[in-house]
Amino acid sequence: MEKIPISVVVSVKNEALNLPLCLEKLNPFSEVVVVDSQSTDDTPAIVKSFGFKLIDFKWNGKFPKKRNWTLENVTLKNEWVLFLDADEFLTKSFVKELSEKIECTKENGFWIFYNNYFMGKEQKYGLKMRKLALFKKTKGRFEKIEEDSWSQLDMEIHEHPIIEGSVGKLKSSIIHKDFKGLKHYIDRHNAYSSWEASRFMNLKKENPTKLTFRQQLKYSLLNSGLLPYIYFIGTYFFKLGILDGITGFYFARYKANYFFQIQTKIKELRLKS
């Protein structure tokens, strides 16, 4: 069968638990590139066993981070690029829709929706996760944020892709399922919340009009102190996360606590300034 003309870029660091399932879904694509932040586990060996291209990445603490660096420094054979994490797995319906869509679309990018798993169980309700993770390499870059060594996050996590032209969305979802467990989830979101707090403190140096409506709303609610409560009530009750059982409750609580972490870290930074 003819390969799908999309370059899939998988960003990794010590992802031996998640990576095999991710990579085994990518054979339909004409190019798969794994960009590795100097893993110390079996990640490089796993990539080589699949025969995919492995790129070593070492961040110098400045712009660009991993995904923008890849777009600017790695020769990708296709115009379309799909960015994945190792804990994201493609479905057959998603691959089918994707291959059909790019043949006749006028869009320069697409939003992708996720079926999220938490503590091993699919979360069928609550707020639907999405990412702008598919776009033409000549039409998009992730926003530039001057970090000044805020964190050790060498990849664009919260940076929003800026796409030239119109953006659509795909109906089929992919699967988001991390096999590393709850401790890894907590540690990761602790790092994310520190980054978010530092970003918030530096917003006054930026042009607010560059922020998306969703970003402006989030930072406004963070400033008011209401975001943790609004998120929990919204996702657990109004978006019916309660129907996901105990894991739906845990997920809503952990996410609300994530926003609470950001708020309290902002207060701490304000006291120091």
Structure tokens at 210: 């560059």
Q: What amino acid is encoded at 16 in this protein?
A: A
201 and 165 within one domain: no
Between CA 196 and CA 198 the distance in angstroms is 5
Range of the domain at 160: 4-176
Residues 37 and 172 in one domain: yes
Last residue of a domain, one of 110, 144, 176: 176
pTM comes to 0.94
The neighbour count for residue 157, using CB atoms within 10 Å, is 16
Residues 197, 156 share a domain? no
**Residue ending a domain, choose from 153, 176, 199:** 176
Q: How many Å from the N-terminal Cα to the C-terminal Cα in the chain?
A: 60
pLDDT number for residue 79: 98
Tens of pLDDT, residue by residue over 219-248, are 888 888 999 999 999 999 999 999 999 999
Q: Of the candidates 111, 146, 176, which is a domain's last residue?
A: 176
SS3 at position 266: helix
Residues 168-219 pLDDT 10s: 999 999 999 999 999 999 999 999 999 999 988 888 666 555 677 777 888 8
| Whether residue 215 sits in one domain with residue 89 | no
Q: Which residues contact 136 (CB under 8 A, 6 or more apart)?
A: 79, 80, 81, 108, 109
Task: Report d(CA 94, CA 92) in Å as an integer.
Answer: 5
